[in-house]
Chain A
């Protein structure tokens, strides 16, 4: 296993469009996390899953953001009706212990 992977690596979209990002965690990890990182800032926690259960979602930035992990393996993060303020790097991490392993991120640009 080569680590956490994310797809796409870059996404450019127009304001108002919906976007979906995918994260494939390290296979034996039961926890999966989504973070957002804006330019010049540290990552900001959004949500996390233990297996297929979403155990924390209060930090999702608005009701336009949603995440799923239907079979406890890969996860998707969807942003509906994108806004220019959604432009950021979206990072996924996985773990089975307190230490988290991060993917390369998806950079979203909203025009």
Chain B
């Protein structure tokens, strides 16, 4: 069974500072990995995805993530955070050997940005 752990429930950073959100997954084969962002009361917006190939993937809004198979991690990074980045971030894993590719989500990390 697949699972995702996001160790940090809350993170606060200052505007302009760099950001790293941690994600660890458990899955027997090469997974499909995703980061989504959710603003209060809204649905989920896809930030970026990893299926195969280059382990450093670029996403929207200046975000990137790096797949590290040896550490079973897919951490999300941004070099300079903007106040509008305050939201909840979810890491998710999908089964690459399942036609439905149902996603399993982590518990989320709430990002707060200080002015």
Q: Which residues of A contact B (CB under 8 A)?
A: 4, 6, 31, 33, 35, 40-45, 48, 50, 55-56, 91, 93, 95, 98-105, 107
Contact = CB atoms under 8 A, between A and B. Distances in A.
13 contacts: A4-B43, A40-B107, A40-B108, A43-B44, A50-B99, A56-B100, A91-B43, A91-B44, A98-B32, A99-B34, A102-B44, A105-B42, A105-B43
Q: How large is the interface on B (under 10, 10 to 19, 20 to 34, 35 or more residues)?
A: 20 to 34
Contacts, number: 63
Contacts of B108: 40-42
Nearest to A9: B41
Interface of B: 4, 32, 34, 36, 41-46, 49, 51, 90, 92, 94, 96, 99-108
A29 B103 CA distance: 17
